[in-house]
Amino acid sequence: MSKYAVIFDMDGVICHTNPFHALAFQAFFDKYNIPYTEKEFEDHMYGKHNSHIMTYFFKRPIHGAELVALEEEKEGLFRKIYADHVETIPHYIPFLNGLKEAGFATAIATSAPRANMDLIVDVLGIRTMMQSILASEDVKLHKPHPEVYLQSSNTIGVPPENCLVFEDSFSGITAGLNAGMKVVGVLSTHAKADLPPCSFYINDYSEINAAKVMELLKG
């Protein structure tokens, strides 16, 4: 069993999906005559669960069967738009290979629906490299609550203090910190100044390797 683990968010961390989510939400909100701005997308879409997004933009509580139906409609649009564009943030696969060669456990912990995660994980062919894969349906409380990270830690058998999280959003970084884990901020969506303090920041995975991960965990 590995002593140390790296846990990845997905959107904005493994793949730069946010521009495609924005396209899907634009089409979705246009259908329902819902106004939106890019600033609102930054503050209330990127890194947020659909329950928050729908409630904010529809300006009323969205939950239960209505949330499920609206979520399935929007995420179906996303998968249709993104299916032919799946690719990682630069140098992710070599970095992941390096982690595995160094003996790290690895996991995915995303707020995205499982169908989105399945699309990305299977196109990239990384499912067998992960010791845990958790999506929105696997937790009751969503980021910034730490449930998904604590559940990942428990599944892979590595204590939170020995886990390093890769996140790109304010709520995701907060979730990792709330779990008692160290966090690397991936600057794919937000500027460093707009995020909570992290142990390290990267623009892409050429800027980090397994040795640096170990340094961060032991530091």
Give me the tens of pLDDT residue by residue for the chain, a chain 219 residues long. 789 999 999 999 999 998 999 999 999 999 999 999 999 998 898 878 899 999 999 999 999 999 999 999 999 999 999 999 999 999 999 999 999 999 999 999 999 999 999 999 999 999 999 999 999 999 999 999 999 999 999 999 999 999 999 999 999 999 999 999 999 999 998 999 999 999 999 999 999 999 999 999 998
Residue that terminates a domain, selected from 82, 106, 136: 82
pLDDT reported for residue 164: 98
pLDDT reported for residue 184: 98
pLDDT reported for residue 61: 96
Same domain? For 191 and 113 the reply is yes
Residue that terminates a domain, selected from 54, 82, 110: 82
Task: Print the SS3 string covering 115-146.
Answer: HHHHHHHHHHCCHHHCCEEECHHHCCCCCCCC
Side chain identity at 103, as an amino acid letter?
G
Same domain? For 212 and 174 the reply is yes
Same domain? For 159 and 67 the reply is no
- CATH number for the domain that contains residue 155: 3.40.50.1000
Which domain, by its residues, includes 115?
Answer: 5-16+86-218
The alpha-carbon radius of gyration of the chain (Å, integer) is 17
pLDDT reported for residue 87: 97
Residue that terminates a domain, selected from 82, 107, 124: 82
pLDDT reported for residue 49: 87
**From the CB of residue 142, how many other CB atoms can be counted at a distance below 10 Å?**
17
**From the CB of residue 198, how many other CB atoms can be counted at a distance below 10 Å?**
21
What burial class does residue 98 get, using C-beta atoms within 10 Å of its C-beta: 0-12 exposed, 13-18 middle, 19+ buried? middle
Number of domains in the chain: 2
Judge whether 85 and 98 are in contact, CB under 8 Å: no
Same domain? For 99 and 205 the reply is yes
Same domain? For 48 and 125 the reply is no
- CATH number for the domain that contains residue 33: 1.10.150
- The DSSP letter of residue 107 is E
Between CA 149 and CA 112 the distance in angstroms is 14
